[in-house]
Structure 1
C-alpha cells in the first residue's frame, strides 16, 4: 500500500490520489483485477512519457504544469468515460459490451498522451491538423509524424495488453485501436478549432469529450458488428 502511494505521488497531487483510488475501486468492481491493472498501466506509462525530455519542454514552455503531476480534474478527464462504462456494466449486466468502451477510452487517452509528449519532444515538423500549415511544437491541434506514429503504436500495444489479460478479444482490440485513433484525430481538430476560443472548454473537458468519443465508437461498433 505504501509503495503504491509513493508511485502515485510521482504523477498525482494528494487530492488526485484520493480520486484515483475512487476511480480504481469502481473499475475493479466492474472489470476485476484486469481492469484495475489497465488503469495502473495507463498511469505508469502516461506519467513516464511526460518526463521524456522534460527539461527541453520546460525551456520551450510546452511541458505539463507541475512537472506532470495531476489533480482530480485530470483524473476524471482521463477516467470519466471508463467510470461511466463501469457503472453502466454494473447497472445492466452487459459487461462485454461496456468493457470494450472502457478499454477504448483508456487506449485513446494513453495514445493521446504519448502522441503529444513524443511529438513535443521529438517532432521535427509540426502541422496544424485543420490546414496542414507549419506551427511550433506544442500548439493546440498540432500533429507530427513522430508523435502520430508513437501514439498509434501505444494504442496498439495497450490494446494488445488488454487482450493478453482478458479485457478484450483480438478482434475487439482492432476496434479499440481504431476507435482510439479516430477519437485522437477528433481531439486534435477540436483543439485547433475551439480550444482557447471558448472560455469554459478547458483541456480536461476536451479530454472527457475525446475519451467519450472513443468509448462510444467502440461500443457502437461492438453492438452493431
Structure 2
C-alpha cells in the first residue's frame, strides 16, 4: 500500500505544479499541496493520492463554476478561487494524520477514515459552491431563517444534495481503489462524510467567529472519528 518517497515527490510535485499553472492554487497552496500529497502518497500509495486528487480537482472545478455569480452574491472564494496553504492544511490535515497512522499500523479502518475525511472536505466544498449558485435564499441550519449567501452555517437544498453526491462518489472511489472494504464500509464512509458537513454547518452557525479553517478541520475530524468509532 505504501509508495516510495521519491515517487511521491515526483508525482506530487508535477501535480502541484500543474494545479498552480491552471490557477487552482496559489504558490502557498502549491507548496502546502506538495507536502500534503507527498505524505499521503508515501503512506497510501497511488490509491491514496488518487482520492486526494479527486477532491482537489473536483473542488476546484466547482469553485470556478459560475464564479462571477458567486462574486456578486458574496459567496465566492477569495483570490479568484485559488486555494492557499491554510486551506490545504485545514481540509487535508486530518487526512494526512489518518494516512500516516494507516501506514504505521496497517489498520484498514484508518484508510477508510482517510477516505471519509477527504469525502467530508469534498462534500463541504460541493455544498458551498453549488449552494452559492442556487437561486433560492439559503437558510441557517439552526433556525431555518433566510440568510445571505456565504453566511456561516447556511444550507440549501441544492447544496445539500451536492454534498450527498460528493460524499457518495468519494466513498465509491475509495472502494474501487481498495481503501474501503466492502459495501457496508462504503455506506458508512459516505454517511460519515456527509455528517461531517452537518457538524461543519452547526459549528459555523453557533460559533461563526471560529473561522472557516477551524470548521473545516472539525468537519473532516468528525467524519474520520465517526468512521473509526462505527467500523
TM-score relative to the length of structure 2: 0.89
The residue that corresponds to 2:133 in the other structure is 121
- In the alignment, structure 1 segments of 5+ residues that lack a partner are none
The residue that corresponds to 1:12 in the other structure is 25
CA-atom RMSD in angstroms: 1.5
How many angstroms does 1:104 deviate by? 0.3
**Equivalents in 1 of 2:104, 2:174: separation in Å?**
23
Give yes or no for contact 1:123–1:145 (8 Å, CA) kept in 2: no
**Equivalents in 2 of 1:70, 1:160: separation in Å?**
25
Find the residue that maps to 2:173 and give its secondary structure. helix
**Does 2:61 match 1:52?**
no
Find the residue that maps to 2:133 and give its secondary structure. helix
- In the alignment, structure 2 segments of 5+ residues that lack a partner are 1-10
| Higher mean C-alpha displacement, 105-114 vs 163-172 | 163-172
What are the residue-to-residue correspondences of 1:128-207 with 2, within 5 Å?
Answer: 128-169=140-181, 170-196=183-209, 201-207=210-216
**Equivalents in 2 of 1:6, 1:27: separation in Å?**
18
The residue that corresponds to 1:89 in the other structure is 102
**Equivalents in 1 of 2:66, 2:104: separation in Å?**
44
The residue that corresponds to 1:66 in the other structure is 79
Give CA deviations for 1:118-152 in whole Å, capped at 9, x if unaligned: 01112514111101112222211111111101110
**Equivalents in 1 of 2:28, 2:151: separation in Å?**
29
Give yes or no for contact 1:175–1:218 (8 Å, CA) kept in 2: yes
Corresponding residue to 2:53 among 30, 40, 50: 40
Give yes or no for contact 1:123–1:146 (8 Å, CA) kept in 2: no
Give yes or no for contact 2:139–2:146 (8 Å, CA) kept in 1: yes
| Higher mean C-alpha displacement, 72-81 vs 134-143 | 134-143
Following TM superposition, the consecutive aligned residue runs of length 4 or more in structure 1 with deviations greater than 2 angstroms are 1-4, 6-9, 90-93
How many angstroms does 1:108 deviate by? 0.4
**Equivalents in 1 of 2:135, 2:122: separation in Å?**
18
TM-score relative to the length of structure 1: 0.91
Give CA deviations for 1:167-224 in whole Å, capped at 9, x if unaligned: 213221101111111111111011011012xxxx2211111111011101111111xx
Corresponding residue to 1:213 among 190, 200, 222: 222
Give CA deviations for 1:72-127 in whole Å, capped at 9, x if unaligned: 11101110100111121233232x02101100000001001001110111251411
